[in-house]
């Protein structure tokens, strides 16, 4: 490209950037109070739209001159709905668990008066303590936000907000470089695919660039099917333009004119915000014909997937886009040389694509300096399960599990003891307490029997049975198997049957040997990644928690008191208060009745083991206990 052409592209973008920065600066310099309401899916599920509407109503009724902005996911999903209020001369203060009533207090006492209502602020506040900024939370000591940097701070439906914060600068820069120069920069950065496999991104782009056939296609994979995972969804709901910019750069590199953003239909807000972003980018000349006058044309279309877990695998995803059943096929050929409609196709996870603009804007050396030498950069995780602070976190690769769970996540909820963490989605592995100091990266997680996956992380405590956990995740992958290959279709079914027998007290020691043998066969012989990784929860729980399996098959006992068929509920006569009938009233099947001494007794034949009696028994009595095996329950008094 000539120097004149590059200058013309820069001038075209400069006009957009000047207008965007002018709007953004006016917002930053405004003397008006600013209210930011998180309205991503997690916030909406907790009532954020009602909170937003309450603010709008009160501002209108009181003729209060304040700016209300909807933003995406701030990461504090455990405290939704979230609101951040910034008043001139004060740091922005974050508020959690906001209800319409709390919103009224914030308007009345903070906006109209000068009481910051610190009792609702995130983090416990002591009297006379300095008013905290939302960014002063302890977790940010360990986080390095790159992908999540603008999540929760910009309006995802305002293109100017994205441009004013560096958006589309990387695309503008890319249009002045050769495709080979960009591939080399991505390769030097060490970027590996964030969809789970960790394949070097630069190498994949090089293969697709070298493929001779045309036309070529770019696919952004947002088919996020892991239970408890919502990283891709949050990025699309919070900063959709970052994904579009990455896709446009990828299109320029490989010579594609068409891109598809594959999003599961269960993400309606992500779909809507992505479509809004595409329309805005087209209107601004950042997508479509002759982008920024460069001569490069590239457009994007949203494709809604039907929600099959296996369609996260790239060849199955392509099959579904072509109107065929979502089933994987043998590789090679790989999609980079023979993909959508048998043409070269570059498929990357949306997190991978969203990182590309950061690398081109900040340099490959910057990205390579983060994380570890073999796994540079950051990783985004969805913390779920028995951790105090559930939500989205982004940490440098190499951060230990202990730091992530206990420092960022706040430790185990309800003062329970940590037992394991299931990392990598339903096909990931369960790692015990002894692995807490394991650095998180692609290679070391694989060596431990787990995997990075797309970023799902479920924390388990002492009340979780690892045999049941393995059964639960295998049940998911078995149901989601497309059935194309025999090892996955029948192997996972047989493994699941063995696990069900073990959790019901019908397992044997021979079953454990067979279970491990089947797991190894399924892992080695399955066609796609779903089958190859489906045994991971079983293999890691057998590796690290074999004693629990032994207790189930030799003693008919569940150490965690979780497996339904291996537990019973019993009322301790010495603790039962005769005048209290809480357990009697809570039992839906009328399995509890008082004996002649007014001591309550559970009829084991009627009991459905729902646990409501345990929950309803007043803590000062704690008369209801759960035991395993059921034979420990003595005969009726």
Nearest of 506, 584, 503, 587 to residue 538 by alpha carbon: 503
pLDDT (tens digit per residue) in 261-295: 999 999 999 999 999 999 999 999 999 999 999 99
Given pLDDT bands bounded at 50, 70 and 90, which one contains residue 132?
low
Higher pLDDT, 139 or 420: 420
CA distance 484 to 505: 32
Nearest of 303, 294, 228 to residue 261 by alpha carbon: 303
Average pLDDT of 143-164?
95
Contact 242, 350 (CB under 8 A): no
Q: Which residues contact 11 (CB under 8 A, 6 or more apart)?
A: none
Alpha carbons within 13 A on the beta-carbon side of 578:
4
Indicate the range of 97-111, 167-181, 215-229, 244-258 predicted with least confidence. Answer: 215-229
Q: What is the pTM of this model?
A: 0.92
Average pLDDT of 470-479?
94
Q: Is 31 exposed, middle or buried (0-12, 13-18, 19+ CB in 10 A)?
A: exposed
Nearest of 363, 389, 388, 386 to residue 376 by alpha carbon: 363
346 forms beta bridges with: 218
The pair of structure tokens assigned to 603 is: 């009829």
Residue 114 is classified by DSSP as: S
Is pLDDT of 221 > 50? yes
Contact 261, 300 (CB under 8 A): yes
Given pLDDT bands bounded at 50, 70 and 90, which one contains residue 125?
very low
Element housing 512 (H / E): helix 509-525
Average pLDDT of 323-350?
94
Q: What is the pLDDT of residue 23?
A: 95
568 forms beta bridges with: 627
Residue 493 is classified by DSSP as: H
Domains and CATH numbers, the chain: 31-134 (3.40.30.10), 159-368 (3.40.50.11540), 378-464 (3.10.20.600), 467-555 (1.20.1440.230), 567-632 (3.30.70.20)
pLDDT (tens digit per residue) in 10-28: 899 999 999 999 999 999 9
Given pLDDT bands bounded at 50, 70 and 90, which one contains residue 376?
very high
Is pLDDT of 126 > 50? no
Largest pairwise CA distance in the chain = 98
E strand residue ranges, 23-131: 34-38, 67-71, 83-86, 93-95
CA distance 170 to 353: 12
Average pLDDT of 364-388?
95
SS3 438: coil
Is pLDDT of 400 > 80? yes
Q: What is the pLDDT of residue 392?
A: 93
Is pLDDT of 363 > 70? yes
The alpha-carbon radius of gyration of the chain (Å, integer) is 27
Contact 168, 162 (CB under 8 A): yes
Contact 527, 488 (CB under 8 A): yes
Average pLDDT of 552-581?
95
CA distance 195 to 452: 9
Q: Which residues contact 31 (CB under 8 A, 6 or more apart)?
A: 88
Pairing of strands 345-349, 217-222: parallel
CA distance 329 to 605: 51
Is pLDDT of 124 > 50? no
Given pLDDT bands bounded at 50, 70 and 90, which one contains residue 636?
low
Contact 392, 75 (CB under 8 A): yes
Q: What is the pLDDT of residue 135?
A: 59
SS3 184: helix
Q: What is the pLDDT of residue 377?
A: 96
pLDDT (tens digit per residue) in 414-454: 999 999 999 988 888 999 999 999 999 999 988 898 888 87
Contact 439, 467 (CB under 8 A): no
Is pLDDT of 215 > 90? yes
Torsion angle of alpha carbons 241, 247, 252, 255, nearest 10°? -150
- Backbone torsions φ then ψ of 570, nearest 5 degrees: -140, 140
Q: What is the pLDDT of residue 141?
A: 82
pLDDT (tens digit per residue) in 183-203: 999 999 999 999 877 899 999
- CA-CA-CA-CA torsion sign (610, 428, 552, 545): negative
């Amino acid at each position: 490209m000539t120097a004149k052409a590059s200058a013309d592209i820069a001038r075209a973008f400069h006009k957009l950037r000047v207008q965007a920065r002018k709007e953004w600066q006016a917002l930053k310099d405004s003397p008006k109070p600013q209210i930011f309401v998180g309205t991503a899916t997690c916030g909406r599920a907790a009532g954020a739209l009602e909170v937003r509407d309450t603010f709008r109503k009160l501002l209108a009724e009181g003729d209060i001159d304040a700016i209300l902005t909807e933003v995406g996911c701030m990461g504090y999903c455990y405290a939704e709905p979230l609101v951040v209020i910034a008043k001139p001369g004060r740091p922005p203060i974050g508020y959690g668990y906001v209800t319409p009533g709390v919103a009224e207090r914030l308007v009345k006492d903070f906006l109209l008066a000068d009481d910051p209502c610190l009792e609702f602020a995130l983090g416990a506040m002591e009297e006379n303590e300095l008013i905290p900024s939302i960014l002063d939370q302890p977790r940010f000591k360990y986080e390095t936000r790159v992908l999540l940097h603008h999540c929760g701070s910009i309006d995802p439906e305002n293109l100017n907000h994205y441009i004013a914060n560096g958006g589309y600068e990387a695309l503008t820069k890319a249009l002045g470089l050769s495709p080979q120069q960009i591939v080399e920069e991505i390769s030097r950065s060490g970027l590996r695919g964030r969809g789970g496999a960790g394949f070097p991104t630069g190498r994949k782009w090089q293969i697709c660039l070298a493929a001779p056939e045309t036309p070529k296609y770019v696919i952004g994979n947002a088919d996020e099917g892991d239970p408890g995972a919502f990283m891709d969804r949050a990025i699309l709901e919070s900063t959709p333009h970052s994904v579009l910019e990455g896709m446009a750069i990828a299109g320029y590199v490989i010579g594609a004119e068409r891109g598809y953003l594959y999003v599961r239909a269960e993400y309606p807000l992500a779909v809507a915000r992505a479509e809004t972003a595409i329309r805005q980018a087209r209107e601004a000349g950042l997508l479509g014909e002759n982008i920024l006058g460069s001569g490069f044309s590239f457009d994007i279309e949203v494709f809604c997937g039907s929600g099959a877990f296996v369609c996260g695998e790239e060849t199955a995803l392509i099959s579904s886009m072509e109107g065929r059943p979502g089933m994987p096929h043998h590789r090679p050929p790989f999609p980079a040389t023979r993909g959508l409609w048998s043409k070269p196709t570059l498929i990357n996870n949306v997190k991978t694509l969203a990182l590309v603009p950061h690398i081109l804007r900040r340099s490959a050396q910057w990205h390579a300096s983060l994380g570890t030498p073999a796994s540079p950069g950051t990783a985004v995780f969805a913390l779920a399960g028995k951790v105090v602070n559930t939500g989205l976190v982004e940490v440098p690769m190499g951060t230990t599990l202990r730091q992530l769970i206990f420092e960022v996540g706040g430790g185990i909820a309800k003062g329970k003891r940590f037992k394991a963490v299931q990392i990598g989605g339903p096909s990931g592995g369960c790692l015990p307490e002894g692995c807490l100091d394991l650095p998180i990266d692609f290679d070391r997680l694989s060596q431990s029997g787990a995997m990075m996956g797309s970023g799902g992380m479920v924390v388990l405590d002492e009340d979780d049975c690892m045999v049941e956990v393995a059964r639960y995740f295998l049940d998911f992958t078995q149901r989601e198997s497309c059935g194309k290959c025999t090892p996955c279709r029948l192997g996972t079914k047989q493994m699941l049957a063995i696990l069900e027998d073990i959790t019901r007290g019908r397992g044997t020691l021979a079953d454990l040997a067979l279970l491990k043998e089947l797991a190894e066969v399924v892992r080695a012989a399955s066609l796609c990644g779903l089958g190859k990784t489906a045994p991971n929860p079983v293999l890691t729980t057998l590796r690290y928690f074999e004693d629990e399996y032994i207790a189930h098959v030799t003693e008919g006992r569940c150490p965690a008191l979780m497996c339904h068929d291996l537990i019973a509920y019993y009322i301790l006569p010495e603790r039962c208060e005769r005048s209290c009938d809480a357990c009697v009233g809570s039992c839906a099947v009328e399995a509890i009745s008082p004996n002649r001494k007014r001591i309550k007794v559970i009829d084991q034949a009627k009991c459905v083991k729902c646990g409501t009696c345990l929950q309803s028994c007043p803590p000062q009595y704690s008369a209801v206990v759960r035991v395993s095996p059921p034979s420990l329950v003595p005969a009726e008094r």
